Structure 1
Amino acid sequence: MARKVLNLMLLFLLFGCASSKKAKFEDYVFQTKKEKQSYLNSYDKALKLWDIPYAEENIKTSFGTAHVIVAGTKNGKDLVLLHGMDASSTMWYPNIKVLAKNHRIYAIDFLIEPGKSSLTAKSLSKEDIVAWYNEIFAHYKLKKFNIIGASRGGWITTLLAVQKENSIDKIVLLSPAQTFKFIDKVGKTSSALMLKLFPSEKRFGKTLKTFSTHPEKISPVYKRQFYLANKYAKSNSSMLKMMPFSNEELKSIKNPVLVLIGDKDVINSEESLEKVKEFLPNSKTKIIKDAGHFLSIDQTKIVNDAMVDFLE
Structure 2
Amino acid sequence: MSNHAPIIPSLSDSGIHYYQTYEESLALWPVHHETFYVPTRFGQTHIIASGPKNAPPLLLLHGVLFSSTMWYPNIAEWSSKYRTYAIDIIGDKNKSIPVDLNGTRTGYADWLLEVFDNLGIKKAYLVGLSLGGLHVMNFVLRAAERVEKAVLLSPAETFVSFHPNFYKYALGLFVPNGVENFLKWMMGDRYVLHPNFAKQFHAGVMWQDELRNQKPKADGFPYVFTDDELKSVKVPTLLLLSEHEVIYDPQSALHRASTFVPGIEAEIVKNAGHVLSMEQPEYVNGRVLSFLDK
Same fold by TM-score, threshold 0.5 exceeded?
yes
Alpha-carbon separation, structure 1, partners of 2:193 and 2:217? 25
Asked if 1 retains the 8 angstrom alpha-carbon contact of 2:129 and 2:154, the reply is yes
Match of 1:187 in 2: 165
Aligned-pair distance for 1:213? 4.0
State the secondary structure of the residue aligned to 2:277.
helix
Q: Which amino acid aligns with 2:237?
A: V
State the secondary structure of the residue aligned to 1:228.
helix
Match of 1:246 in 2: 226
Aligned-pair distance for 1:203? 2.1
- Cα deviation digits, residues 137-158 of structure 1 (max 9, x gap): 0112212310001001111110
- Is 1:223 paired with 2:198? yes
State the secondary structure of the residue aligned to 1:65.
strand
Alignment map for 1:56-205 (pairs within 5 Å): 56-121=35-100, 123-163=102-142, 166-183=145-162, 185-187=163-165, 190-196=168-174, 198=175, 200=176, 202-205=177-180
Asked if 2 retains the 8 angstrom alpha-carbon contact of 1:213 and 1:291, the reply is no
- Cα deviation digits, residues 191-250 of structure 1 (max 9, x gap): 222114x2x4x2212211211245644211011001111122444313762221111111
% of aligned pairs identical?
31
Q: Give every structure 1 segment of 4 or more consecutive aligned residues whose post-TM-superposition deviation is greater than 6 Å.
A: none
Alpha-carbon separation, structure 2, partners of 1:159 and 1:77? 22
CA RMSD between the two structures? 1.9
Aligned-pair distance for 1:165? 5.2
CA pair 214-169 structure 1, distance change in 2 beyond 3 A: farther
- Is 1:302 paired with 2:283? yes
Match of 2:184 in 1: 209
Q: How many pairs align?
A: 280
State the secondary structure of the residue aligned to 2:142.
coil
Q: Which amino acid aligns with 1:281?
A: P
TM-score (norm 2): 0.89
CA pair 59-147 structure 1, distance change in 2 beyond 3 A: same
2:258 to 277, 286, 289: 277
- Is 1:256 paired with 2:236? yes
Q: Which amino acid aligns with 1:132?
A: W
Alpha-carbon separation, structure 1, partners of 2:143 and 2:100? 26
Alpha-carbon separation, structure 2, partners of 1:81 and 1:171? 10
Q: Which amino acid aligns with 1:271?
A: S
Alpha-carbon separation, structure 1, partners of 2:57 and 2:116? 10
Match of 1:237 in 2: 215
- Cα deviation digits, residues 158-209 of structure 1 (max 9, x gap): 01000155310111100000101111x313652222114x2x4x22122112
State the secondary structure of the residue aligned to 2:238.
strand
Match of 1:12 in 2: none
Alpha-carbon separation, structure 2, partners of 1:87 and 1:262? 18
In structure 2, list runs of 5 or more residues that go unmatched: 1-7
